[in-house]
Amino acid sequence: MAHYPHHYIDGAWCAPSGPGQRELVDPATEEMFATVANGGTAEDVDRAVRAARRASESLAHTSVDARAEMIDAIVTAYEARVDEFAELIAREIGAPVSARAQVTGPIGHMKVARDLLTSYRFETRMGDTIIRREPVGVCALISPWNWPIQTPVIKFIYALAAGCPSIMKGSDASPLSGIFLAEVIEKAGLPAGVFNLILGRGRVVGEAMSAHPEVDLVSFTGSTGAGIKVGEAAARTVKRTVLELGGKSANIVLRDADLEAAARWNIGRCFFNTGQSCHAPSRMLVHESQIESVLPILADEAAKFHLGDPRDPATTMGPVVNSAQFDSVQDYIQKGLDEGARLVCGGPGRPQGVNRGYFVQPTVFSDVTPEMTIAREEIFGPVLAVMPYRSEAEALEIANDSIFGLGGYVFAGDTKRGYEFASGLKAGRICFNGAATNSLTPMGGYKQSGVGRSMGVFGLEEYLEIKSIYGFAEDAAQLPELMR
């Protein structure tokens, strides 16, 4: 039984100032496999913030080449442990080892950030004015459990690229991912204070990080409810806040689309990571004349998932993360039945023959109306709501009738019509005909899905302040060459 009792602050592992530990339970077996310190306090956060503040000035003045070298060192240290990370998240959150994007994706994101440093202009001119982009300062990073390595990597690597030190808090449900990431960063040899990790409860550590007057930016990924609390705490000291929150994304299948391709793609994307994705297309809008044609295809595709031990390479769907999430998903499935939705496949309870582990049956509902709970709330499990529409105008209205606006998906035969429809969706990231996203482009949401953007140039600029310096003619020979 492994025990992980330490924070990582100012380049060293140290004990929390408060007592307590948490038992970590394997969601596939319901057996405890490790314990972790859970006694993080506001005092620990203050220690980490002071360490980051000490590192801030020197990091802000490093060259872009030096920061690129730091990122390369992290990539090298990380690549040496990819298989170890895959085994870890299989045990910690139930993500199958076959889902390699969970552990290989961060490498691509780090390389994109590094390459961006070779071309990004931190200083530009507008007439006699120099426009400088400078590091915002100390950053508090709060990451979720569903992508326990990739999301913190994206947050930290762009902060580092901008020249900002960080304090990281991972999710209570996946603390070991943060610890292993800290070990990678320690191995890479970054200066003390550039990265700090605090373990502990969100309502204590997260609140202290968000409210701390010496934190200049807080970046949070998680539920909309928790994000509101982070925003409220951050507002007390008027710091920059970047929030990626909940989603209830719609996939609208126009009448001229390839119905089978749209259906099979929707199941794969919606049920990936056991449906625990804020971008999941958990609402599928299909013309009323095509509903009965699409349902057998959806059921057939859902039946292809192999549920089982996430450490088995043959497994394509693991359990949900913990008992609380299992109970929540089961409640939503029951609400779907109680409110009159038609069950196409799956349903309440574990899959047949499974008597332990937090496994959920891949579930599809039809006859779902816009007012039903399963059409409005984020379920975060392998549950799809199929909804009919009579006209494209109605489809657009249904798709946009949500407090969320994170992702959207459109399938159409006519490219021009598909683009016009996609342009009407109120969401931050739209995919046409199953197109893949990429890590160069911005990610973020409309409405209650968040504030700000991550990844690529837009993600880098979240960590930069803009300064205008007036009165310097373009031929001022005494000025040094502008920074890249």
Expressed in percent and rounded to 5, the helix, strand and coil fractions of the chain are 40, 20, 40
Residue pair 82/108 in contact (Cβ under 8 Å)? The answer is no
Among residues 92, 139, 164, 244, which one is catalytic?
Answer: 244
Residue 281 has what pLDDT? 98
Q: How many other CB atoms are there within 10 angstroms of residue 63's CB atom?
A: 12
Instruction: With a cut of 80, say whether residue 474 has pLDDT above it.
Output: no
Structure tokens belonging to residue 246: 């909940």
Query: What percent of the chain shows pLDDT beyond 70?
Result: 98
Count CA within 13 A, CB hemisphere, residue 106: 28
User: What digits encode the pLDDT tens for the residues 443-470?
Assistant: 999 999 999 999 999 999 999 999 999 9
Q: State the Cα–Cα distance between residues 457 and 112, nearest whole angstrom.
A: 10
User: What digits encode the pLDDT tens for the residues 318-366?
Assistant: 999 999 999 999 999 999 999 999 999 999 999 999 999 999 999 999 9
CA 229 to each of CA 25, 147, 198, 226, 431: distance values in angstroms, whole numbers, following the listed order: 27, 21, 19, 5, 31
Rg (CA), the chain: 23
The question of whether 31 is a catalytic residue gets the answer no
Instruction: With a cut of 90, say whether residue 472 has pLDDT above it.
Output: no
Q: State the Cα–Cα distance between residues 107 and 429, nearest whole angstrom.
A: 22
Q: State the Cα–Cα distance between residues 125 and 35, nearest whole angstrom.
A: 54
Residue pair 308/315 in contact (Cβ under 8 Å)? The answer is yes
The mean pLDDT value of the chain amounts to: 96
Residue 471 has what pLDDT? 87
3-state SS, 27-61, equals CCCCEEEEEEECCCCHHHHHHHHHHHHHHHHHHHC
Secondary structure (3-state) at 243? strand
Report the run of H or E that residue 129 belongs to, with start and end: strand 129-135
> What does residue 129 show for φ and ψ, rounded to 5 degrees?
-115, 135
User: Domains in the chain and their CATH numbers?
Assistant: 2-245+449-469 (3.40.605.10), 250-432 (3.40.309.10)
User: What digits encode the pLDDT tens for the residues 170-207?
Assistant: 999 999 999 999 999 999 999 999 999 999 998 999 99
Among residues 278, 301, 378, 461, which one is catalytic?
Answer: 278
pLDDT band for position 224 (cuts 50, 70, 90) = very high
User: What digits encode the pLDDT tens for the residues 235-267?
Assistant: 999 999 999 999 999 999 999 999 999 999 999
The question of whether 244 is a catalytic residue gets the answer yes
CA 191 to each of CA 15, 186, 187, 195, 359: distance values in angstroms, whole numbers, following the listed order: 20, 9, 11, 8, 43
> Could you tell me where the beta strands, DSSP code E, fall in 172-256?
195-197, 217-221, 240-244, 250-253
